[in-house]
Amino acid sequence: MSPEYLAVTMFFGVIVLVFAGVPLYLALGGLGLYFGIAGGWSPQVYDQFINRIFGLMSSEVLPAVPLFVFMGAILDKSGAADKLFSAFYLAMGGLRGGLAVATILICTIFAACTGVVGASVTTMGMLALPAMLKRNYNIPLACGAICAGGTLGILIPPSVMMLLYGPMVGLSVAKMFMGAFIPGFVLSGLFIGYIIIICLLKPEYGPPMPKEERAGIPMIKVAGEIMLYMVPPMFLILAVLGSIFFGIASPTEAAAMGGMGSILVAIFYRKLTLSVLYDGVLNTLKITTMVMFVAVGAFMFSGVFMALGGAKLIGNYIIALPLGKWGILTVMMVIIFILGMLIDWIGILFIVVPIFTPVILNLGFDPLWFSLVVCVNLQMSFISPPFAYSIFYLKGVAPPQVEMLHIIRGVLPFLVLQAIGLILVILFPQLIMWLPSKM
């Protein structure tokens, strides 16, 4: 078999092994090793693995990953979400669908603090889901709002995805952060708009809080509580992302500042204990280790895949399609979406992006714009069954009456909204490019 077709066999081998239950990092690393030897490079393949792994670990941006994860982990334990939800609960509970809208708003705020999805989904699943079920909200709508809102954490900066993506293709992480802001807020707006419309059309989906429950609570007091509890996380967001935008700090330096700031926020809410610090460090180690293991396996895989000529072969096939540049872009988006239903986003990032990026450059697309279009697409993978992380995160903390089918039915309308958001950033590139152009 020619080297190029060995590479194609590698690609499909990953999907087969993942479906067989093999962990992704083992599937990627094992296939890289096997096909490297099968390709006839027994001595060289080991040197290549060492060099690629060393190159990954020596990245100046990489330390920002555990620091931003730590920031999110401490904020998750700080009680900020509890305080904000209590205030938003009173402020918006009187509106149809108000609790679901409040859930999206809080998820949007915390997306700019965490950089990961799991913390947002599990926290809001424990806070918002029982409150909405108590108010007889439609179960799929409540579940869909939590899962969709939680996915904003991987798109709105600081995003772990962009910390890995930028160095891999030679793009500025700071510019990627700025470019992701508006798409993230567009998606948040689409989610809120859908909730409001569906609750107007079907009032039983999101009944308002009874007037007697809201009686005697001055709205001025509620507004004051919202402002008070929003100040610490908003100050942290402005300090971290503002320092990056204005060039005061690199992403890694800003991440270190964010980690320290999250501890101060926990002190402000009187939640900082040794147990909180221990849990924060432990969660950081778990997430960072998972990311690094998959990244190392993917680097081993992609090195052999490209050396066998797989990237060139697939790239030539794609360019040869008689579809024009926009048709080829559409094919790429469909491929990424389908892969997102099957394998981890980290694997897609390290396998598919090195193949597609040279093709995109040949077609004349802006690499920064394309990278963020890919990020918007990969965000969809978190609520795309069957391997949708957000669905399983929520099921793990949901009350017994919430079935898996409820969650899947709930995320489908939001998946359509994410597809609409993807189309919008493709049709209107300035949604991505405007903020980076101001740096």
Annotate the chain with three-state secondary structure. CCHHHHHHHHHHHHHHHHHCCCCHHHHHHHHHHHHHHHCCCHHHHHHHHHHHHHHHHCCCCCCHHHHHHHHHHHHHHCCHHHHHHHHHHHHHCCCCCHHHHHHHHHHHHHHHHHCCCHHHHHHHHHHHHHHHHHCCCCHHHHHHHHHHHHHHHHCCCCCHHHHHHHHHHCCCHHHHHHHHHHHHHHHHHHHHHHHHHHHHHCHHHCCCCCHHHHCCCCHHHHHHHHHHHHHHHHHHHHHHHHHHHCCCCCHHHHHHHHHHHHHHHHHHCCCCCHHHHHHHHHHHHHHHHHHHHHHHHHHHHHHHHHHCCHHHHHHHHHHHCCCHHHHHHHHHHHHHHHHHCCCCHHHHHHHHHHHHHHHHHHHCCCHHHHHHHHHHHHHHHHHCCCCCHHHHHHHHHCCCCCCHHHHHHHHHHHHHHHHHHHHHHHHCCHHHHHHHHCC
The pLDDT of residue 342 is 82
The pLDDT of residue 352 is 86
The pLDDT of residue 199 is 93
Are 431 and 182 in contact by the 8 Å Cβ rule? The answer is: yes
Cα distance between residue 164 and residue 23, in whole Å: 20
- Look-up: residue for tokens 């393949």? 45
The pLDDT of residue 128 is 87
Taking the chain, what is the end-to-end CA distance rounded to the nearest angstrom? 50
Q: What is the pLDDT along the chain (439 residues), one digit of tens a residue?
A: 577 777 778 878 888 888 888 888 888 888 888 888 777 666 666 777 777 777 777 777 788 888 888 888 888 788 777 777 777 777 777 788 888 999 999 889 888 877 677 778 888 888 889 888 888 899 999 999 999 999 998 898 888 889 889 888 888 888 999 999 999 999 999 999 999 999 999 999 988 877 766 666 677 777 777 777 778 888 888 888 888 888 888 888 888 998 898 899 888 888 888 998 998 899 889 888 888 888 888 888 888 887 777 777 788 888 888 888 999 999 999 999 998 888 888 888 888 888 898 899 888 999 999 999 999 999 999 999 877 888 988 988 888 888 989 999 999 999 999 999 999 999 999 999 999 988 7
The pLDDT of residue 304 is 82
The most distant pair of C-alpha atoms in the chain lies apart, rounded to whole Å, by 78
Cα distance between residue 199 and residue 137, in whole Å: 10
Instruction: List all residues 6 or more positions away from 1 whose beta carbon is below 8 Å from its beta carbon.
Output: 9
Structure token pair of residue 359:
């093709």
- Look-up: residue for tokens 């079920």? 133
Buried b (16+ CB within 10 A) or exposed e, 126-151: ebbbebbbebebbbbbbbbbbbbbbb
Burial degree of 212 (CB within 10 A; 0-12, 13-18, 19+): exposed
pTM: predicted TM-score of the whole model, two decimal places: 0.86
